[in-house]
Amino acid sequence: MLCGADSAHEIVEFGDANETWIRRYIKLAEGIPSHDTITRVFSLIDKDTFCSRFTSWTQSLEKATEKKKEEKEHKVIAIDGKTLCGAIGNDLAGMAHMLHAWSVENGLCIGQQAVKDKSNEISAMVPLLKILDLRGCIVTADAIHSHKATAKAIIEQGGDYVLPIKDNEKNFKEEIEDLFKDSFKEDFKGIDADEYETLEKEHGRIEHRKFWVVDAEELPAAKEWMGLKSVGLCVRERTVKGKTTKEEVFFATSLELDAKLFSEVIRSHWQVENKLHWVVDVTFREDKQRYKDKTMAQNFSCVRKMAFNVLKKDPRKSSLKSKRLRAASSVAYREEILRTYL
């Protein structure tokens, strides 16, 4: 994977071309295994155990190789799911799904959990949280994960949360809406609150965001949502070619009243899509791969994220594609990154 092999067939090709080098590290009594053997082995490995070991390794990698830089009080972890489109051909019902935890500050996939299918993504959230060290971290996720159990698991692991509240928590959403209606009506006089706004203009697009956070101590849900301290509102107005759209999203958070921090956390959530999911599709051709079954697809996903993390940790100012080419063509570089990060 480090050297550009994306499939079992390509792994065998690399093995055949580099058998002498590989024999420095492992015994090959029967020579390089066939792609059928590789496929069979990765279909037999327990995917949940493999994901758990991957998460343990990548968290130790993050701590052991963290660059010296100004320490932030909080680190953001964005959690989001991704379907492995190549599993079971094009059968949508049979596709494998993975839940990823993305470290915004370090640019690493620090954990993942295999999911039966997208509809079961909720049930995979708490097990993933329970194997993550969340001390000093703020966790964000899509609204599908905005539940009391998620908040409880995050707090118990030592973290904080910023979770969007939509119609899947209808009663709670109505409580937040009413609180903000009253707050706006009173112009926030006598109300513990904070606000912040941003304005961006680029490429013919104007985006104006306003953020408010209000103390949630008096809300009925405060007794049910562990750690809840504030509720937030983000209003985004986007103008493109003279057409303006407006979006309002409510949030529950365990953070104190800090609208600027609240805004930064919300906006950083989308890095999991742009800097992980998009990259593994483009650089590692994840969605182009075809697998025998879900287990193989999910286990290969773990190996792919291992390669992704190792290449991301390498400080050279090159693209991941260039680093993979260097690893394939330079034994010295290949051994350096393996020795340093694995």
Classify residue 266 as exposed, middle or buried by CB count within 10 Å of its CB (0-12, 13-18, 19+): buried
Q: Where are the beta strands (DSSP E) in 116-226?
A: 137-141, 160-165, 193-202, 205-215
First and final C-alpha spacing in the chain: 14
Please list the residues that pair with 21 across neighbouring strands.
none
Number of other CB atoms surrounding residue 237 within 10 Å = 14
Quote the mean pLDDT of the chain. Answer: 89
Classify residue 263 as exposed, middle or buried by CB count within 10 Å of its CB (0-12, 13-18, 19+): buried
Q: How far apart are the C-alpha atoms of 285 and 278, rounded to whole Å? A: 10
Ranges of each domain in the chain? 8-162+260-341
Q: Where are the beta strands (DSSP E) in 85-229?
A: 96-103, 108-115, 137-141, 160-165, 193-202, 205-215
Number of other CB atoms surrounding residue 130 within 10 Å = 13
φ, ψ at 154 (rounded to 5°): -65, -45
Cβ density class 43-80: b for 16+ within 10 Å, e for less: beeebeebbbebbebbbebbeeeeeeeeeeeebbbbbb
Whose tokens are 């993975």? That residue is 98
Yes or no: say if 192 and 218 are a contact pair by the CB < 8 Å rule: no
pLDDT, tens only, 203-219: 778 999 999 999 998 89
Please tell me whether residue 13 adopts helix, strand or coil conformation: helix
φ, ψ at 244 (rounded to 5°): -110, 130
Yes or no: say if 142 and 119 are a contact pair by the CB < 8 Å rule: no
Q: List the chain residues with pLDDT less than 50.
A: 68-70, 89-93
pTM of the predicted model as reported, rounded to 2 decimal places: 0.88
8-state DSSP, 257:
S
Q: How confident is the model at residue 72, as a pLDDT? A: 57
Yes or no: say if 86 and 64 are a contact pair by the CB < 8 Å rule: no
Q: How confident is the model at residue 119, as a pLDDT? A: 58
Angle at 17 between CA 11 and CA 18, to 5 degrees: 85
Q: How confident is the model at residue 42, as a pLDDT? A: 93
Q: How confident is the model at residue 264, as a pLDDT? A: 95
Q: How confident is the model at residue 89, as a pLDDT? A: 46
